[in-house]
Chain A
Amino acid sequence: SFELTQPPSVSVSPGQTARITCSGDALAKQYTYWYQQKAGQAPVLVIYKDTERPSGIPDRFSGSTSGTIVTLTISGVQAEDEADYFCQSVDSSGPFYVFGPGTKVTVL
């Protein structure tokens, strides 16, 4: 299968914009999915198919893609957005589900 790379941490002040990247060669051909995991809780899907937002997810969460780099953007960050964020993709030949190592977002 393949690997996904994320920065370990991102710090942002309330009201500012947080950008979390996920990179991997496979991302040029496969969709990326993003999960938010707050402390002590299960992950929650916040972006699917690179840019789509599930119902119930605030519109301050958005996704974008450029080649082998996919970005989760949180606009107007709120304290409640402090969490770990994981990207995930799939190798359909398996299938094999691959997760990135996660990025801890700290709201200052």
Chain B
Amino acid sequence: EVQLVQSGAEVKKPGESLKISCKTSGYTFTNFWIGWVRQTPGKGLEWLGIIYPGDSDTRYSPSFQGHITISADKSMSTAYLQWSSLKASDSAIFYCARLGPAMADFDIWGQGTLVNISS
């Protein structure tokens, strides 16, 4: 069974750094793109970026480029999303999701990680 299991909820202050994880199992990690999606009450679902763990090819949404970093560890079958300096507006639920073979849809999703940024 394909599974994506994300790290737990985080509470951070503005300006702090954060790295959340997405551990995968049940398929060959290096053969599928993994994406990160943000969900907020006001803006719905937004795509942040994707990574191909096979060669670490990474693409970012222009809306988030420069503010986030996506990475992957092949030895751990795990993808990561990180921030070097959080803002209050980063508060959201973040999902990792595997992209389907056509690289057009998100066919399996993690359970989500709630990130709360508050001073």
Contact = CB atoms under 8 A, between A and B. Distances in A.
18 contacts: A33-B106, A42-B109, A42-B110, A45-B107, A48-B100, A86-B44, A88-B105, A90-B105, A95-B59, A95-B103, A95-B104, A97-B35, A97-B61, A98-B47, A99-B37, A99-B44, A99-B46, A99-B47
Contacts of A98: 47
Given A48-B100, A99-B45, A101-B44, A43 B95 contact: yes
A58 interface: no
Interface of B: 35, 37, 44-47, 50, 59, 61, 95, 97, 100, 102-112
A86 B111 contact: no
Given A99-B44, A99-B47, A43 B100 contact: no
A96 interface: yes
Contacts of B50: 95
A34 to B, nearest CB: 9
Contacts of B104: 31, 33, 49, 90, 92, 95
B105 A44 contact: no
Interface string A6-43: 00000000000000000000000001010100000111
Given A43-B95, A96-B61, A33 B105 contact: yes
A102 interface: yes
Size bracket, chain A contacts: 20 to 34
A89 to B, nearest CB: 8
Contacts, number: 60
Contacts of B103: 90, 95
A88 B35 CA distance: 14
B46 to A, nearest CB: 7
A94 B59 CA distance: 8
Given A48-B105, A95-B103, A43 B45 contact: yes
A86 B112 contact: no
Contacts of B110: 42
Given A42-B95, A43-B95, A48-B100, A102 B44 contact: yes
